[in-house]
Amino acid sequence: MPAHGRDPILIAGGGPTGLALALKLGLADVPCVVLESESALTHDLRAGSFHPPTLEMLADLGLEEAMHARGLKVPVWQIRDRIEGVIAEFDLSMLSDVTQFPYRLHLEQHRLTPLLLGRIQDAAPSITVRFNAPVSKVEQDADGVTVQAGGESYRGSFLAGCDGAKSVVRQAVNISFDGFTWPERFLVASTTFDLATVGFAGAGYVADPEHWAAVFRVPDEGPPGLWRIAYGTDPDEPEADVLASNAIQKRLKIILQHAIPGAGDFTLKYASTYRVHQRVADQFHAGRIALAGDAAHINNPLGGFGLNGSIHDAVNLGEKLIEIWHNGADYRTLLDLYDRQRRPINIKAVQAMSIRNKRLLDEKDPTIRKASLNEVRATATTPDKARAYLLNSSMINSVRDAAAIR
Ligand SMILES: Cc1cc2nc3c(=O)[nH]c(=O)nc-3n(C[C@H](O)[C@H](O)[C@H](O)COP(=O)(O)OP(=O)(O)OC[C@H]3O[C@@H](n4cnc5c(N)ncnc54)[C@H](O)[C@@H]3O)c2cc1C
């Protein structure tokens, strides 16, 4: 057992947040143990879009080359109307004076986590990753934290709850997770049909009161990649019906009707549904226990903020824990600062923007709908406004704003 007060940092959850935090700590020689409930990295289809500040942070962790070798650069994204076609195009190249990565990089999170784990194994010997270790019980005292996981007891100086939306850690410290759940489930399907050939940019949002959608190109075994299409489903329709192949084909033809009139069946590679929430933890730390990623906040995927904000948490929290570990900084002060920097920003930026994006796409009132789309059109064609919009939607402003909080 290490000396009093120098037990390793424990991390519950080996998803993107937990592994990014572990890598950040490991590169600074801070010992840490990651406890992951599954027997291997999870492989389900989730987030797949990295914004410029996240790319900067992951480049600092040594992942620039590996991510770029596998990902797709997407500088331009569109807002479309399902009937009219392109309403607005935004080009992130406009921000090349403020970021070295003026584009989104599309790379699914199940392709990021092996890169994080590989880098931990290669460059961060102070990190241990335990699989089959579901955290089941958490207790803290004045000197540290005791965690039960997979039949073993672990003692740590701090615990980071990076164990996802249903966080056991968050529940163990009784932090509430208020917000709401959208009534409709989201369905995400992927097709090999190359939507670039019919005018789609690598990322696009299609507005329609009923048949709105988000359309994204992601890497596949080879060009042209796969196209992921996410849309809302009728809350009253049974799961099996919305996932039926003919139902998905019918819906894709409606969504893509303007771009591909009279389309035949699409080759589908994948389809699944999921529930979508807007929730933020009441506090991001309690004593020696901090929350990060989906354990701390969840939002709808429109804008691609969930995973990006989670990595921003991991890096911010990692900086604080390094300062505490190496320089003996007061943990209460720094974890309070983590809370002040990350929690209000999530509410002000991520929650607000993702809800606004959904309203823009699915607005039913024709007058509001027309006004909103006109406003987006005017924003995209006015350089100052386009730049301001891009600074927010790329999350550059939220990272800057957080850093300015002391
Ligand atoms: C179906 C789906 C689709 C999504 N699509 C998008 C999208 O298109 N765009 C977007 O931006 N975001 C999307 N998100 C959100 C995005 O995937 C998350 O923001 C991201 O996964 C957060 O990473 P995380 O590491 O915090 O949590 P997770 O990825 O959930 O990782 C948590 C890890 O903790 C482990 N774990 C759980 N409980 C325990 C325990 N008790 N003990 C130990 N380990 C535990 C889990 O096995 C997992 O490995 C989606 C989420 C879902 C569920």
pLDDT digits (tens, 9 = 90+) for 364-397: 999 999 999 999 999 999 999 999 999 999 999 9
- Pocket probe for ligand 1: among 24, 46, 188, 275, the residue whose CB has the most ligand atoms within 8 Å is 46
- Pocket probe for ligand 1: among 138, 294, 358, the residue whose CB has the most ligand atoms within 8 Å is 294
Residue of 125, 184, 146, 181 whose CA lies nearest to 35? 146
Q: Which residues contact 359 (CB under 8 A, 6 or more apart)?
A: 372
In a domain, 1, yes or no: no
Q: Are residues 95 and 194 in the same domain?
A: yes
* Tens-place pLDDT, residues 69-89: 999 999 999 999 999 999 999
pLDDT average, residue stretch 41-49: 90
Give the per-residue pLDDT at 220. Answer: 85
d(CA 13, CA 11): 6
In a domain, 2, yes or no: no
Q: Are residues 217 and 160 in the same domain?
A: no
Phi, psi of 279 (to 5 degrees): -145, 145
DSSP string computed for 5-27: T-PPEEEE--SHHHHHHHHHHHH
Q: Please answer whether residues 63 and 117 qualify as being in contact, where contact means their C-beta atoms are separated by less than 8 angstroms.
A: no
pLDDT average, residue stretch 111-136: 97
The position carrying tokens 């591909």 is 260
* pTM, full prediction: 0.97
In a domain, 65, yes or no: yes
Q: Are residues 329 and 203 in the same domain?
A: no
- 104 within ligand 1 shell (Cβ under 6 A): no
In a domain, 4, yes or no: no
Q: Is residue 339 scored above 60 in pLDDT?
A: yes
Give the per-residue pLDDT at 337. Answer: 98
Q: Are residues 95 and 223 in the same domain?
A: yes
- 363 within ligand 1 shell (Cβ under 6 A): no
Token pair in block for residue 269: 């590679």
Q: Are residues 95 and 135 in the same domain?
A: no
Ligand 1: centre distance to CA 200 (Å): 28
Q: Is residue 279 scored above 60 in pLDDT?
A: yes
Token pair in block for residue 350: 């991520």
Q: Are residues 45 and 167 in the same domain?
A: yes
Q: Are residues 225 and 298 in the same domain?
A: no
Instruction: Say how many domains are in the chain.
Output: 2
Nearest protein Cα to ligand 1, atom 29: 15
Q: Are residues 144 and 212 in the same domain?
A: no
Q: Are residues 269 and 159 in the same domain?
A: no
Residue 81: what residue type?
D
Burial 335-362 (b: 16+ CB within 10 A, else e): bebbbebbbebbeebbbebbbebbebbb
CA-303 nearest atom, ligand 1: 11
- 310 within ligand 1 shell (Cβ under 6 A): yes
* Domain coverage including residue 139: 9-71+108-179+279-359
Q: Are residues 214 and 285 in the same domain?
A: no
